[in-house]
Amino acid sequence: MYILLSAYEVLSAPSRDPQLDQHWELWMNRYNKTYHQTEEGWRRMVWEKNLKKIELHNLEHSMGKHSYRQGMNHFADMTKEEFRQIMQGYKPKAELKVGTLFKKPSFLNVPESLDWRTEGYVTPVKNQARCASCWAFSATGCLEGQLFRATRRLVSLSEQNLMDCSRYLGNKGCDGGWAKMAYQYVHENGGLDSEESYPYQAKDNLQCFYNASYNAIIVDGYASIPSGSEKDLMEAVATMGPISVAIDASHDSFQFYQSGVYYEENCSSEQLNHGVLLVGYSYSDQDYWIVKNSWSENWGNNGYIHMAKDRNNNCGIATDASFPVIL
């Protein structure tokens, strides 16, 4: 559901450019967009404003000012304020008692690059839709990786199960939550259903429908990575597999990311708002983390983003990292 545009946003939106009519129609058709007659005019103006910002950014990229490109995706008709409200749902709470601290194994040799997708640890990119349930997708992605590590079986796990059933721990479904509380729920509940048996609905249900007959995983708790240390984070990824992380994704540069290595100088390392999954790391002309998002394959690089690595914990990628423990 869209929120109302502020008076400032309405007045500051650019006038409708008739030369963009065909472009607008193609974009709406590609992303299956439909609007009420009274809304389409405002959406068109927001879309044009975003288009101009993206074109300017990419021009600056071609001049060497930025390390990444932006693109007109399915969020192009949304203001930054709408985007933050609807798509970002990381909401941390106090630490839970079952958590331990990650300790790297002795004599660990960390590879220069690593991508757990090539080893079978990662399910296809999912879509949280218009629901701030990123925390649940971050958690299931990490649970799926740990299950594969333990059993060599890749099973897509249920975000809706987490959303409907972990509220007593403080998670709030489409209004946000925390991966660590998701792990706490799986630990206390004695399991989590598969995606197939408990499919995602992108909405909050008032009832928990967990069925132990379809339980796909059991965990013994979770472990946290020392906060702020990209070195420890790299060692954890290399040792354990995909890791759940939280980042600052509040900038329109992230909203419209398309390719390249994302570095945002205005990113906060403390004000985190979005849960994602770290699946590896690599380097080109600069080091980067390989991050799986939950905004469908229409966003970013087929649903992924390369985020700057070893640049003072940019966007807080190493601030709150964790994984479930399976014994």
Q: Which residues are catalytic?
A: 134, 274, 293
| H, E, C per residue of the chain | CCCCCCHHHHHHCCCCCHHHHHHHHHHHHHCCCCCCHHHHHHHHHHHHHHHHHHHHHHHHHHCCCCCEEECCCCCCCCCHHHHHHHHCCECCCCCCCCEEECCCCCCCCCCCCEEHHHHCCCCCCCECCCCCCHHHHHHHHHHHHHHHHHHCCCCCECHHHHHHHCHHHCCCHHHCECHHHHHHHHHHHCCEEECCCCCCCCCCCCCCCCCHHHEEECCCEEEECCCCCHHHHHHHHHHHCCEEEEECCCCHHHHCEEEEEECCCCCCCCCCCEEEEEEEEEECCCEEEEEECCECCCCCECCEEEEECCCCCHHHCCCCCEEEECC
Residue at 222: amino acid letter: Y
- At residue 290, φ and ψ (nearest 5 deg) are -100, 115
Instruction: Answer for the pair 192, 161: CB distance below 8 angstroms, yes or no.
Output: yes
Nearest-angstrom CA–CA distance, 320 and 297: 25
| Nearest Cα residue to 177 out of 166, 187, 186, 188 | 166
